[in-house]
Structure 1
Amino acid sequence: MRDIFVEIWSTVRRNKLRTALTGFAVAWGIFMLIFLLGAGNGLINAMMLQSDRFLDNSMMVGGSYTSKPYDGLKEGRRIELNDKDMAVTGNSFPANVQETGASFDQNDLTFSHGDNYVSSSLSGVYPNEIEINKKEMLYGRFINDIDIEQKRKVIVLNEDDAKELLPQGTERIVGQYVDVDSLAFRVVGVYKADRSGMNSSAYTAFTTFRAIYNKGDKVETILFSFKGLDTQEANDAFEAQYRARINGNHRAAPDDERSVWIWNRFTQNLQMNTGMNIIRTALWVVGLFTLLSGIVGVSNIMLITVKERTREFGIRKAIGAKPRSILRLIIVESVVITTFFGYIGMVLGVAANEYMDSTIGRMKVDSGLFEATMFYNPTVGIDVCVAATVVMIVAGTLAGLIPARKAARIRPIEALMAE
């Protein structure tokens, strides 16, 4: 076996250009496959990171304007949700709707604590807000049922606002009072701010908010989690039925899809998953074609190799070399070259992905109002890298097998007469 490797090395040194072209075709095919998959995973992981900020099986519902005349009323009427809509949501769909809540927002408020102040917004919410919009508590607690029942003047601050109001020892703000314009609220918790634009408000009990701002029985948005809706068709049917019930409360056409808006996180994720699958498929197709080009390159160069060495093989057979020795020589040469350069391509592909990860893999777009991750963890599993390399090695072996068999069968006299 040592003699074979020595001979292969000698052949490589005599044919540097041919070997370099073969190696480049192999390494480039594997490198591009790993690099493309890594870049695609970076985009997909960023999309998943954004979607993970919400509970998948949840919906938000808000009032809008009617688009159809109905029951003697013209189109363009403003629909405002109320407690009756909340009751319909919680009681009329027991098979699907789980926990129901609501929210109301008030913007451009001044929060102050001692000499420190910050401008922010206040939202009145139910306890299910922390689960549906996935908030992580750092200190204290979130709004609870007792706060709702007793209309307590309590508040949960986001981390950034808490640091502005009490820069040193933010956790000590829990239990202290914060003025919201002219009203004092007792701080019961601080949650982690993710700067997504969705988790930046301060929170108080929904009932407290409505009493302070004189909202009567009005509801700005209804939030609820659901179960048993596992397909696009099931969600579409539920939304149509639900919208008809809400429209009925406001004398709007049952099929008027603009009277209320529904943000269904589950169907949004289905659409996102479809888009991500398309991206994955496209990347795999491009990557595999790149890999195929490397295989074709190896095949062509192995054919040229055999053609150039036909006279050599004829001399070998004339002095007693057996066909299987010639076959083994070509196969081993193909395997060695493909393995070596395939490994180089794999290492370079992994290195390129690691470089992307360390540079743009944590890149965020900051508009000043919100921050979003656009590219996250652009890496590929080691199993994919190894599999791509193994495929190239096997393909290189097969590419060398066909001309090797032809060379092993050629008669010495024919080989010696070859040009």
Structure 2
Amino acid sequence: MIDLIQEIYGTIQRNKLRTVLTGFSVAWGIFMLIVLLGAGNGLINAFEGQTRDMKMNSMKIYPGYTSKPYNGLNEGRSISLDDTDRELTATAFSKNIITTGATISKGSVYLNFEKENVSISLDGVFPSYPELEAIKIKKGRFINERDMKERRKVIVLHEKTAKQLFPKSQPLGKYLNAQGVSYQVVGIYTDQNSFSPSALIPFTTLQVVYNKGDSIDNITFTTRGLTSEAENELFEKDYRQVMGSKKMFAADDDGAIWIWNRFTQYLQQQAANQTLHIAIWVIGIFTLLSGIVGVSNIMLITVRERTHEFGIRKALGAKPSSILWLIISESVVITTFFGYIGMVAGIAVTEYMNKVAGTQTMDAGLFSVTVFENPTVDIHIAIQATLTLIIAGTLAGLFPARKAVRIRPIEALRAD
């Protein structure tokens, strides 16, 4: 064993540059694979983080315009929603619907507190809103049934809005002025990714204060028993048919109402994540192959340069297995050593990425989206990838080794 180690060491010493270049291709292959996997995981984790707190079993219904004629009515008609549509949704589909809610909005309202002000959209919502949307109450409370019944002028602010209006004081209990209407701050909410966050007030309050009547902007509800894409598509078809009968549009008119199904969106996102993951592995594997090809080439060159030596060994009685073992061992040593270096370097880079940009977000005032999160690779995957490279490197050295074993001593001794 010691003789074998000394011989491999001597061979490497005599061919330092060639060994280093081959080793670099091996290390680079495993390094790039781990870094690509880490970066891909960062993107995938960010995508999943955006929907982590969302109710995946929920749908949101928006009104639209008819794209087909119906019972003598022309296409292009505007469809509106009202509270009776929300009630119909709850009663007609009670088997599949758990909770319903609705939203109406008043845009571009100026909120003022002392010298601070902000232009924001007011959303009138139901008490079930936190059950339907990905929000959390950070301080205070949310809108309750009594607020709805009494049409109270209470308001729940997003944490970023609260910081803008109350930079030096505690907002809870304070009164805001909304273009002549006074609202008391009862709660502060937060969400994971804020895109133009709204201020939330009771649904009934917004109806009365801003003269919205019975109209609503959208209907939201959570579902049960819809566990596959096919079941969700069937539910959407039935829902369009029921709403079409009431609102006078064709059941197959997708433009009349727009259904945002978060479950099917989640399935599509998972498919996209899987595609990204596969693409990263394909790129990484081809990068690994370049290192394996490098090992195979160096072994072929080694066999050609040492043909005369192998002939002398065989003439002196060396067994073919000893020559085979010598070449394969050299391949394993190069692949293992440089593969380990590449693995360690790759893990170090992913940990550095995690430290520097592990929770990377795009933040522009009231707009905040997480775009990169926890770009690391599981240590077991890194080890498995390195072991795969070592096995592949061994196989890459096997073919040149078999060629060396098959050389006849007389032919080998004649070689230059």
Q: State TM-score, norm by structure 1.
A: 0.92
The 3-state SS of whatever aligns with 1:216 is coil
What letter is aligned with 1:188?
V
1:153 — aligned with what? 153
Deviates further, 186-195 or 153-162:
186-195
The 3-state SS of whatever aligns with 1:374 is strand
Are 2:265 and 1:268 equivalent residues in the alignment? yes
Per-residue deviation, residues 311-360 of structure 1 (Å, max 9, x unmatched): 22233344454444333322222111110110112122223333444455
What letter is aligned with 1:7?
E
2:125 — aligned with what? 125
1:85 — aligned with what? 85
Q: CA deviation at 1:408?
A: 4.0
Aligned partner (choices 279, 282, 292) of residue 279 of structure 2: 282
2:380 — aligned with what? 383
Gaps of 5+ in 2: none
For 1:234 and 1:275, the matched residues in 2 are separated by: 21
Q: CA deviation at 1:102?
A: 0.5
2:296 — aligned with what? 299
For 1:295 and 1:262, the matched residues in 2 are separated by: 51
Q: CA deviation at 1:269?
A: 1.3
Q: CA deviation at 1:89?
A: 0.9
Aligned partner (choices 250, 255, 258) of residue 252 of structure 2: 255
What letter is aligned with 2:84?
K
The 3-state SS of whatever aligns with 2:30 is helix
The 3-state SS of whatever aligns with 2:373 is coil
For 1:140 and 1:333, the matched residues in 2 are separated by: 69
Deviates further, 44-53 or 265-274:
44-53
Per-residue deviation, residues 192-223 of structure 1 (Å, max 9, x unmatched): 2555215x111111112112222222111111
Gaps of 5+ in 1: none
1:137 — aligned with what? 137
For 1:339 and 1:227, the matched residues in 2 are separated by: 53
1:311 — aligned with what? 308
Deviates further, 400-409 or 230-239:
400-409
What letter is aligned with 1:312?
E
* Equivalent residues of 1:135, 1:192 under 8 A apart: yes
Q: CA deviation at 1:409?
A: 5.3
Are 2:163 and 1:176 equivalent residues in the alignment? no
The 3-state SS of whatever aligns with 2:226 is coil
* Equivalent residues of 1:65, 1:259 under 8 A apart: yes
1:186 — aligned with what? 184
1:204 — aligned with what? 201
1:104 — aligned with what? 104
Deviates further, 10-19 or 313-322:
313-322
Per-residue deviation, residues 209-250 of structure 1 (Å, max 9, x unmatched): 112222222111111111222222221211121122122222
The 3-state SS of whatever aligns with 2:112 is strand
1:227 — aligned with what? 224
Are 2:267 and 1:241 equivalent residues in the alignment? no
Q: State TM-score, norm by structure 2.
A: 0.92
Are 2:22 and 1:22 equivalent residues in the alignment? yes
Assess, with a 3 A threshold, how the Cα gap between structure 1 residues 126 and 400 changes in structure 2: closer, same or farther.
Answer: same
For 2:149 and 2:96, the matched residues in 1 are separated by: 25
Q: CA deviation at 1:374?
A: 2.9
For 1:55 and 1:23, the matched residues in 2 are separated by: 50
* Equivalent residues of 1:99, 1:224 under 8 A apart: yes
2:58 — aligned with what? 58
What letter is aligned with 2:23?
G
* Equivalent residues of 1:160, 1:193 under 8 A apart: no
For 1:72 and 1:314, the matched residues in 2 are separated by: 96
